Amino acid sequence: MKIELILTADSIKTERVKGKATVAIDTFRATSTILTALAQGAKEVIPALSVEEALSYKNTLSDVIIAGERKGEKVEGLDLGNSPVEYQEQQIQDKSLVLTTTNGTKLLLNLSSARRILIAAFLNLSSIAKAVKGEKELIICCAGSRGEFSLEDFLTAGALIYKLKGLKSDLKLSDLSLVAYQNYLTNQGQLAKVLKESEHGRRLLALNKEADIDYALQQDALFLVPSYSEGVISCKRKSLENSF
């Protein structure tokens, strides 16, 4: 299996991902939030680029929750922000969640030409590794932050490669994938410390969101393989059996 890595949502080119199997990562916090909502029984998650677009779903969908952030904070008028720890099963179950975030939703929309788009974070790495192990080529796509590299996404990519190495012996890593893997090996015993010192970690700490960081760093707390297709993220119910 050949593995490539793209560092930011902004650097995804339609032609590069067209027809390919991809894994989308925005560990702080969009993909962690999406996984949490689906684990709590959300029917589907619909990424929206703007707050206006997200709110428009109130008129077209019943049983819908509108959520999202700008500058890390819940947008006024939305039902929820982007803090996975604030999501409650009673509120989410059987609802459609429309989510608009700064980088994560852009990542998914930029991947639209891919053949397969799976949603990953530390929370579901083993499930994702098992789901992609039969692919000949895989592109791991990180959201990054406002067009820049983000360490938490890079380390999540490295951790996914680590899991894949445990399942397959024939990995051909691009140089970036190799560095992500090596960086994960170096830091795997101190992820919380390293990531609380990172730019995104410091920004979340300043917003009193440390609980989101600790939550998002729980490896394999969820056994979900959500995929994004035709504008909607969904998850086969069967794969929810082992969650929590």
Tally of CB atoms within 10 A around 182:
13
Distance, in Å, from the CA atom of 122 to the CA atom of 192, rounded to the nearest integer, reads: 12
Closest to ligand 3SL by CB, 9 or 221:
9
Number of residues that bind ligand 3SL (CB under 6 A): 13
Closest to ligand 3SL by CB, 198 or 243:
198
> Which candidate, 94, 36, 97, places its Cα nearest to that of 64?
97
Distance of CA 241 to the CA centre of its chain: 20
Beta-bridge mates of residue 228: 233
Is residue 102 at the binding interface for ligand 3SL, with CB under 6 A as the rule? yes
Closest to ligand 3SL by CB, 27 or 40:
27
Residues of this chain, 105-144, that bind ligand 3SL according to CB under 6 A:
143
CB of 69 to ligand 3SL, least distance (A): 4
Residues of this chain, 182-211, that bind ligand 3SL according to CB under 6 A:
204
For residue 115, cis peptide bond before it (omega within 30 degrees of 0): no
CB of 175 to ligand 3SL, least distance (A): 26
Residues of this chain, 11-40, that bind ligand 3SL according to CB under 6 A:
26, 28-30
Residues of this chain, 65-84, that bind ligand 3SL according to CB under 6 A:
69, 72, 82
Question: Among 37-45, 98-106, 169-177, 190-198, which window interacts with ligand 3SL (CB under 6 A)?
Answer: 98-106
Distance, in Å, from the CA atom of 57 to the CA atom of 53, rounded to the nearest integer, reads: 7
Tally of CB atoms within 10 A around 242:
11
CB of 169 to ligand 3SL, least distance (A): 34
Distance, in Å, from the CA atom of 79 to the CA atom of 74, rounded to the nearest integer, reads: 9
DSSP 46-84: EE-SSHHHHHHHHHH-SSEEEEEEETTEEPTTSSB-S-G
Closest to ligand 3SL by CB, 171 or 232:
232
- Strands 64-70 and 73-74, by their bridges, are antiparallel
Question: Among 96-104, 157-165, 182-190, 191-199, which window interacts with ligand 3SL (CB under 6 A)?
Answer: 96-104
Is residue 104 at the binding interface for ligand 3SL, with CB under 6 A as the rule? yes
> Which candidate, 154, 118, 152, places its Cα nearest to that of 135?
118
Residues of this chain, 165-184, that bind ligand 3SL according to CB under 6 A:
none
Binding site for ligand 3SL (CB under 6 A): 26, 28-30, 69, 72, 82, 101-104, 143, 204
